[in-house]
Amino acid sequence: MPNMSLKRNEMPVQAPDVRNRNFQEVALGYTEEQAIDEAKRCLGCKNKPCSTGCPVQIDIPAFIAQVAEGNFAEAYKIITKSSSLPAVCGRVCPQETQCESKCVRGKKGEPVAIGRLERFVADWHNSQSEVSVEKPVPNGHRAAIIGSGPSGLACAGDLAKKGYDVTVFEALHVAGGVLSYGIPEFRLPKSIVQKEIEGLKALGVKVETNTVVGRTVSVDELMNEEGFESVFIGSGAGLPRFMNIPGENLNGVYSANEFLTRINLMKAYKDNSSTPIKAGTRAVIVGGGNVAMDAARCAKRLGADVTIVYRRTEKELPARAEEVEHAKEEGIVFKFLTNPTEITSTEKGWVKGIICQQMKLSEPDASGRAKPVPIEGALFEIEADYVIMAIGTSPNPLIKSTTEGLDTQKWGGIIADEDGLTSKTGVYAGGDAVTGAATVILAMGAGKKAAAAMDEYMQNK
């Protein structure tokens, strides 16, 4: 008999006024009992609506059925047939707009907590003593992956499972891309990211850090000199945007990328870190996406009073509802319909404050979003010690500018077809490098699609 409770099992979390002072994970995960109880809420629909909402099409009812029976190892096997990074996706996927939005139980009551169950299964697996991995039989073909973020890792994992000799090239000193430098420890512990990467290495994937493709080696050299038959470009969207307003280059103005990289990659929040961060007691974050929430919550943990300014209203916030909720609980102040026009300076060239324009919403534009317009004369200043610009990123131009014959959009995105094929034979691309900044799971989906196409290309070459 299924568990017909309309409510899902709550996941234990650290209390807001405790967690906003530490960098440990906010959500603590289900116990075995909670997981089994939640799994029993699944009706096991034959047509699997949830799976249609998953960018990598995990067989969700099948893995949940195994959880309900307590067969966690079996559940893990089912998930990893489709996903290379379950412990990551269980934490950072926007399930509420994907799998869980299609769940039949959600029509009357709350949908099955699919994300929490995925996370539970992955964490259960990772907590077991070394599970032996069957190394696939090598098929004699070599593929190169540029970038070790979600799209690259997903692509690498799928190709490795098929027997390809896969090398992942990473520019930084640590693999993981945005999972390592961008998403904070309290939302995605770095030990989990490294565990997932170790899992790929166990499959035979090689990871070469400290390699900037476009500088250390070019795409053409990888193919013509180093013997890679096919290349996947998953270099992400790492180039931070600025507003181009006066004062943006003052001391104390960070791009979200820089702020988060100092904290997550370089561990600047630790007392003994050799990488500095200048975090005063009043921070203003500009932007309303997940990155803005991450930056705000990091600033809070570094001891600041934090204000997020966003030019539209709460309804239009692009961040996940859960992230906004968490930010609010932690004491972060939101100022909506607020658009910065200038960052003011102390005599010594440091941030003093940020002048903002009060906005109102006009009629929805062609994109369906109401356009914010200024209310004339309604300007005010928020005092701040530092300002973080979290208004988006663009694809890094380095690979484009060093790879002849690789076509890109005007805004920098690599042009690729449905399967990820670019304008260059044998060269595929996916994730934020193609779409512009999006989500971890969409990037993974693109990496998987490209892996399938690369497999076909190399087999028929």
Binding residues for another protein, rule: CB under 8 A, are 171-173, 181, 209-212, 215-217, 238-240, 242, 244, 248-252, 254-255, 257-258, 261-262, 265-267, 272-276, 278, 348-349, 396-398
* CB distance 67 to 36 below 8 Å: yes
Smaller CB distance to another protein: residue 54 or 223? 223
Smaller CB distance to another protein: residue 100 or 170? 170
Rounded to a whole number of angstroms, the minimum distance from the CB of residue 281 to another protein is 16
Distance of CA 367 to the CA centre of its chain: 24
Smaller CB distance to another protein: residue 148 or 257? 257
Rounded to a whole number of angstroms, the minimum distance from the CB of residue 230 to another protein is 21
Rounded to a whole number of angstroms, the minimum distance from the CB of residue 437 to another protein is 13
Rounded to a whole number of angstroms, the minimum distance from the CB of residue 227 to another protein is 16
Give the position of tokens 């042009």.
415
Rounded to a whole number of angstroms, the minimum distance from the CB of residue 42 to another protein is 41
Smaller CB distance to another protein: residue 398 or 452? 398
Cα–Cα distance between 122 and 368 in angstroms, integer? 38
Cα–Cα distance between 221 and 227 in angstroms, integer? 9
Smaller CB distance to another protein: residue 257 or 435? 257
Beta bridge mates, 420: none
Cα–Cα distance between 285 and 297 in angstroms, integer? 10
* CB distance 322 to 274 below 8 Å: no
Rounded to a whole number of angstroms, the minimum distance from the CB of residue 63 to another protein is 36
Cα–Cα distance between 172 and 110 in angstroms, integer? 41
* CB distance 426 to 229 below 8 Å: yes
Smaller CB distance to another protein: residue 43 or 266? 266
Rounded to a whole number of angstroms, the minimum distance from the CB of residue 253 to another protein is 9
Smaller CB distance to another protein: residue 409 or 459? 409
Smaller CB distance to another protein: residue 242 or 380? 242
Smaller CB distance to another protein: residue 104 or 398? 398
Ramachandran bin of 39, using left for φ above 0, alpha for ψ from -120 to 50, beta for the remaining angles = alpha
Among residues 292, 361, 372, which one has the least CA distance to residue 332? 292
DSSP state of 13: B
Alpha-helical (H) ranges within 150-309 are 150-161, 178-181, 190-202, 219-224, 256-260, 290-301
Give 227: exposed, middle or buried? Use CB within 10 Å, 0-12, 13-18, 19+: exposed
Beta bridge mates, 264: none
Amino acid letter, 292: A
Rounded to a whole number of angstroms, the minimum distance from the CB of residue 240 to another protein is 5
Rounded to a whole number of angstroms, the minimum distance from the CB of residue 171 to another protein is 5
Smaller CB distance to another protein: residue 119 or 400? 400
Q: How far apart are the first and last CA of the chain?
A: 53
Distances (CA, A) of 436 to 154, 300, 413: 18, 28, 6
Beta bridge mates, 351: 345
Rounded to a whole number of angstroms, the minimum distance from the CB of residue 307 to another protein is 21
For 389, the enclosing helix (H) or strand (E) is strand 386-389
